A and B are shown apart, each in its own frame.
Chain A
Amino acid sequence: MKSGSNLERLLEKGEFVVTGELGPPKGPDADVVKKKAHMLKDNVDAVNITDNQTAIVRMSSIAACKILIDEGLEPNMQMVARDRNRIAMMSDIFGASALGIKNMLCLSGDHQTFGNHPEAKNVFDIDSIQMIYMVKTMRDENKVISGDEIEGHLKMFIGAACNPFADPFRYRVYRLAKKVQAGADFIQTQCIYDMKRFKEFMKQVVDMGLHEKCKILAGVTPLKSVGMARYMALNVSGIVIPEEMIDRLRGAGKGKAASEGIKILCEQMQELQEIEGVAGIHLMAIEWEDRVHEIMDTAGFLPRPKV
């Protein structure tokens, strides 16, 4: 076992996993994290804790992860290369492990121009692929980047992100291969709406045998309204929403788009389960944690398996 996390053990057992996501508050209130945690508890197998997503200042991922552990959930700590150099990263990874964090997701991070401090200086000392390699070296060779020995042993299940819808499309599978080569144990993808393109991508993944070296979790996010769908398609890089999906939301009628969005999502989740090489789902119900139980129940993913 690389970390012995619940996520790792379920994936090893061949269970179809579902991870959730929780955005920490824009302040120090632990109760906000606890409240969201209770909505997710027993509904998902692990919960991603974002690291100042969209470059907006929030409670630190590590701290929110610890709150989750205390509440009896398993966190997946996100870490971005934007705000920390290699020294801070390695130090925080030691600290995270000491607090009981066993999964992490290595990311480049949204550029600071998107956030509430666009005048900040970014770091990007190392990139996400180098971060994956760094954590693997720390875990498997017991060394920090410099080659110095680590006191004790680091246990960490290493995750990475993948956006099958970014450009250049033909290169995306090679970038994924590079993350696997660097040492990613699992991958969580960007939100998928264009199932046709995702299937095309997964065929490339399977042809290259990447799904056998690394567990691929397909990312999904429910669409709450026509407005949200339009906004995401226009403003979030690498999000492609097929027109017929937006038509379905519109066709649902006044006040019914949200439930139609959940219906679409559940169908998607069932369809993703059938795709070769997909080992699970990463459900990003952004500020919709209270609907996660309903989504998981409707899609037929409850109760969650135990190991």
Chain B
Amino acid sequence: MIVGERKPFSEILSMVEDYSKILVIGCGSCVTVCMAGGEEEVKILASQLRLAFRKNKRDVKVEEAMALRQCDDEYLNDPLLLDKVKAADIVISMACGVGVQHATSFFNRRIPDKPIRVVPGLNTTFMGANLDVGIWEERCVGCGDCVLEKTGGICPVTRCAKSLLNGPCGGSSNGKCEINKEIDCAWHLIIERLEALGELDRLKPIEPYKDWRPSHNGGPRKTVREDIRI
């Protein structure tokens, strides 16, 4: 899933302090699961904002709302939500960067007579897995050309600090990466996994130069599925 972290309160406050009608919209998917931008977090941020404005003796209205997925028109197309957006001077989206951009696009398409200002409440950190309660770690950089079948299900593009494709560098020590003893050496893990599978020979051929075109290398990538288009 997409993992996010809430921005520091001071940063969010600086984005909205000049406005008097603020709407905070949470997202009910990935960032709810990683407890960064769901209903609870919307409540917390809205309360923090109200307290801060009250302390500064400012009359600011802070509204709350949710969308199940801010990255899809279908879940933003809610008359109650649109009314709240219309009434606000500024919208804080608690979705990932995809949600913030899609909500900006959608609201401005649906409310053409009033430019809608949407700002991010989160930093989108990575695509990762939930390793334990409160712990997430990156697993995929979305390079667009998966090599996991060759590397025992462990991604060197994402998990090696140098994205090496032909084995561990000279900095691998006791299974850890040279840049941080907290990080596992991806190649150490790959070698162990392939040994266990009896497939270490997979690493013998030189892995050719990677074609980075499917990666984030030339503007936004796009998928069109003709088979499911109406």
Contacts and interface: CB of A to CB of B under 8 A. Distances in A.
B162 interface: yes
Contacts of B178: 111, 237-238
A255 interface: no
B164 A171 contact: no
Contacts of B161: 111, 113
Interface in A150-193: 161-163, 166-168, 171, 174-175, 178, 181-182, 190
A237 B208 contact: no
Contact of A168 (B162, B179, B188, B204): B188
B162 A124 contact: yes
A166 B191 CA distance: 14
A113 B204 CA distance: 30
A70 interface: no
B168 interface: yes
B209 A237 contact: no
Contact of B185 (A108, A129, A167, A175): A167
Contact of A111 (B162, B175, B209): B162
B174 interface: yes
B171 A166 contact: yes
A238 B173 contact: yes
Given A122-B162, A127-B162, A237 B170 contact: yes
Interface in A220-242: 237-238
Contacts, number: 97
A109 B164 CA distance: 11
A114 B179 contact: yes
A237 B121 CA distance: 39
A161 B171 CA distance: 12
B188 A127 contact: no
A167 B188 contact: yes
A267 interface: no
Contacts of A238: 170-173, 178
A166 B170 contact: yes
A142 interface: no
Interface in A104-163: 108-111, 113-114, 122, 124-130, 133-134, 145, 161-163
B170 A161 contact: yes
Given A114-B179, A171-B191, A237-B178, A127 B166 contact: yes
B172 A182 contact: no
A174 B194 CA distance: 14
Contacts of B208: 130
Interface in B108-167: 161-167
B137 to A, nearest CB: 18
Contacts of A102: none
Contacts of B180: 113
A107 to B, nearest CB: 9
Q: Quick one: which of B164, B169, B207 has the most chain A CB within 10 A? A: B169
B210 interface: yes
A110 B170 CA distance: 9
B203 A174 contact: yes
B165 A113 contact: no
Contact of A130 (B162, B171, B179, B206): B206
A237 B172 contact: yes
Interface of B: 161-175, 178-180, 185, 188, 191-192, 203-204, 206-210, 212
Given A130-B207, A167-B168, A168-B172, 13 more contacts: A81-B162, A111-B171, A127-B165, A129-B207, A163-B170, A166-B172, A167-B172, A168-B191, A171-B168, A171-B191, A181-B206, A238-B170, A238-B171
Interface of A: 81-82, 86, 108-111, 113-114, 122, 124-130, 133-134, 145, 161-163, 166-168, 171, 174-175, 178, 181-182, 190, 237-238
18 contacts: A110-B171, A111-B179, A114-B179, A124-B163, A126-B209, A127-B162, A127-B165, A129-B167, A129-B206, A133-B206, A163-B170, A166-B169, A166-B173, A167-B175, A167-B185, A171-B191, A175-B167, A178-B167
